[in-house]
Amino acid sequence: MHLTIKGRNIELTPALKQYASEKLGKVTKLFDQIIEITAILSVEKNPSISNNQIAEVNIILKKGTIQAKEASENMYASIDLLVDKIERQLRKHKTKLISKVKTSGTSIREMSVEETAIAETEAEENLGEDIVRIDIVNEEETV
């Protein structure tokens, strides 16, 4: 995985670079198919824009890309909001891949460990939703 952090209209301090790399590094633990992450931190010079601290990210995966953009009054807050958005998008992408694996008939052994854990938790969550009503009939009474 390759991580690139760029700055536009802002001087990237070592603290800001380290904060962004730590937060984006946590995202890589969610999904193991990330090839490259490019983050762009920028500041809008227009004084009429209140949320002028902008954080953008482009994540290249083995199957597709994910992009997100967040803005706030503080760059650290923008990075936090961006990481939350990316985590949601990665989870959604991952569940889509898992559902495709389930419908295509791929065995569980071919799935990664994280994908199987997510599939099991989804199955447990949906367990009670599928059962509407169960009727128990005694065969002795019906004979």
Give the whole-angstrom CA distance, residue 140 versus residue 143: 5
Other CB atoms within 10 Å distance of the CB of residue 63: 9
Tokens standing for residue 35: 């090839």
**Greater pLDDT, 43 or 116:** 43
Phi, psi of 117 (to 5 degrees): -65, -40
Res 143: pLDDT: 44
CB 55 within 8 A of CB 82: yes
Q: What percent of the chain has pLDDT over 90?
A: 46
Fold adopted by 2-132: Double Stranded RNA Binding Domain (3.30.160)
| H/E segment holding residue 12 | none
Cα 98 to Cα 104: distance, rounded to the nearest angstrom: 10
pTM greater than the 0.85 cutoff: no
Residue 115 reports pLDDT greater than 90: no
CB contact set of 12 (below 8 Å; sequence gap of 6+): 5, 6, 41
> pLDDT: is 21 or 122 the higher one?
21
